[in-house]
Chain A
Amino acid sequence: MTPDISTLIAACEWYPSSFFVLSQNVFSPLLYYTYAGSVIPTLLIGILLLLKARKQLSVQYLFLMTVFFSIWIFCNLVTWATEFPAYTMFFWSLLVLVEPFVYFFAACFTYSFIKQGSIPWKHVVLLSLPLLPTIFFAPTSLGLTAFDLTNCDRGANEGPLALYGYIIELVYVLFIIGFTAAYALKEQNADNWKRAVYVSIGVGAFLLSFSLGNIAEAFTENWYIGQYGLLGAPVFTAFLAYAIVRFQAFHVRLLSTQALVVGVGILVFSLLFVRSIEYARYAIIATLILLSLLGYFLIRSVRREIAAREHNEKLAKDLAKANARLRELDRQKSEFVSIASHQLRSPLTAIRGYASMLLEGSYGKVPAKAAEVLERISTSSTFMASSIEDFLNVSRIEQGRMKYELAPVDLPKLASDVVDELRAAAVKQGVTLLFRSSITGTGKAHVDPGKMRQVIYNLVDNALKYTPTGSIDVIVTDDVGPKTLSITVKDSGVGMSEDTLHNIFNKFVRAKNANSVNVSGTGLGLYVAKQMIEAMQGAIIAESAGEGKGSTFTVTVPMSA
């Protein structure tokens, strides 16, 4: 006669369980290690990712996948631990219900991550159709047929729905493989291609480690091997998290630091429940407190570092934008100056020309008083023409339109001519203007003659402007360096402070005391001279012992071969 069920259950002498999962019925600690070791980090990664980007669809799907994975692990552990057949049946039926969901969400995650967007609702419905029979029939006898009391293993006999579950899991795996393969073959963009490969490897490995238990059991009837596979789940979830992080603007360091701290914390906390180390509880509590403190500071420092880096990156971006804006404004300014100067130059030429003709008596004799006025008109318009020429030169230089025609030029002769030209002005001013040449070679420079003349003129004219009394020496030499010639313009004028020396070659910069001796001058002459000399492969430097102690400008240019 068959004994009754309660006799059989009592004969098995199952241990009582607490909290559903803590029980000596779970005779192998491996189960606890693998289950806790896989579910905690997996769920943690899912939660952390969700916290970081809760609006991102692929993250939501990954989170749901980790949640269903965790439910599955919990249910499985209960079926190992519980001594009540009713609980075994209930949690086992949940296993049948939950398992295909892990695969479904893995498929949704793969789809949305690769496509980087939402899944059309029709596709979601299509993907979920295989789940519907499982949802509707899980509580029926199609899910589980009976509780197995032919042995004391506390197992349930699975119905056709469980087999159906395995088949649809295979369908989802095939979908994931097919979808990523089709995408990877079509995709040209290297980043998108990598993304598809990353995610397919991650999802594939995750599902493989998840289903290794079933596969291993089917082929070897050894459930031990399958349990080790579960340990792969957090690794592959981490891999998926990395894939998301790699292609999104997440902070992988912060995420990994948080995961590390929380993971280690949970691990240490779980030691409190291990019976064999009861006496070490105080040490564990102390470790936990220390870990919490250190973890808090670690996370805070990483967060701060990231915030600082982000701030710097933002500043750099703003700076780049501002620079671009400034360059544009500078270009517009040069263009405006160029147009305005051209418009001014033409009428000015007429003014200068007619003033000169009137002075020369081309239109009859001019009264002395009127001649004086005409003289002023002529001088002022000449100065204005020179300023306009400076403006035009600046705009040409800045727009890169300045043309240089390099040729061998007799530098001492050129300098001597300029000095002769300005000698009258020097005499009128009461300044001694001397020219000296100590050339031993040919004295030929490889420069644009017009530009070189303008540079020398600017330097000597400047020296005259800022030397109310005293002397100006213009010296040409060829002993400053190999294959170079130099011109030095040395005056005993107002000199320059250290501060002015640093900026004297910038636009619109004049010596601080310049206005006290000379009100005319745009502050462009030296800027133009420097730009021209550098364009001709030369160099220009300014020296001064200080204000009131004179200045020396030295120009070096390449010697003609």
Chain B
Amino acid sequence: MHNRAATLYIGALLLFALFSGIACWYRYVYLSDFPYVVAESVEALLGTGEEEL
């Protein structure tokens, strides 16, 4: 068994990362709480999109 404190610390770190991931899901998927940067018109949207593609 290697350093128990290090294992526990990494475990805690991974747990926090998981919480962070859940928070992301809660915000972006559950609440859909994010802004959009939108095109000025549908034409502009499609035109830019085509060029990019």
Contact = CB atoms under 8 A, between A and B. Distances in A.
A57 B16 CA distance: 21
Contacts of B35: 145-147
Interface string A75-95: 000000000011101100110
A151 B24 contact: no
Interface centre among A136, A151, A152 (most CB of B within 10 A): A151
A118 to B, nearest CB: 3
B9 A121 contact: yes
B46 A11 contact: yes
Given A85-B36, A118-B2, A149-B37, A138 B24 contact: yes
Interface in B1-43: 1-3, 5-6, 9-10, 13, 16-17, 20-21, 23-29, 32, 34-42
A3 B37 contact: no
Given A97-B21, A121-B9, A139 B46 contact: no
Contacts of A27: 53
A147 B34 contact: yes
A211 interface: no
Interface stretch (A123-131, A233-241, A445-453): A123-131
A252 B13 CA distance: 33
A204 to B, nearest CB: 23
A174 interface: no
Given A3-B41, A86-B29, A150 B48 contact: yes
Contacts of B26: 139
A153 B3 contact: no
A537 B27 CA distance: 94
Contacts of B23: 138-139
Q: Indicate the member of A12, A27, A89 with the most B CB atoms within 10 Å.
A: A89
Contacts of B48: 150-151
Nearest to B44: A150
A124 B2 contact: no
B45 A150 contact: yes
A124 B10 contact: yes
Nearest to B47: A151
Contacts of B10: 124, 128
A57 B2 contact: yes
Nearest to A101: B17
B52 A97 contact: no
A117 B25 CA distance: 37
Contacts of B36: 5, 85, 146-149
Contacts of A12: 45-46, 49
Nearest to A92: B28
Contacts of B5: 121
Interface string A94-123: 100110010000000000000001111100
A89 B16 CA distance: 20
Given A86-B32, A90-B25, A118-B6, A139 B45 contact: no
Of B25, B29, B38, most buried by chain A (CB within 10 Å of CB) is: B38
A8 interface: yes
Contacts of A85: 34, 36
A157 interface: yes
A7 interface: yes
A90 B37 contact: no
A418 B52 CA distance: 113
A17 to B, nearest CB: 15
Contact of A90 (B2, B24, B42): B24
Contact of A8 (B25, B32, B38): B38
A362 to B, nearest CB: 84
B2 to A, nearest CB: 3
Contacts of A143: 24
Contacts of A220: none
Nearest to A147: B36
Contacts of A144: 34
A135 interface: yes
Given A11-B42, A90-B25, A145-B35, A153 B20 contact: no
A523 B26 CA distance: 94
18 contacts: A5-B38, A8-B45, A12-B46, A27-B53, A57-B2, A87-B29, A93-B24, A97-B21, A117-B2, A120-B3, A125-B9, A138-B21, A147-B35, A147-B36, A147-B37, A150-B45, A152-B46, A157-B37
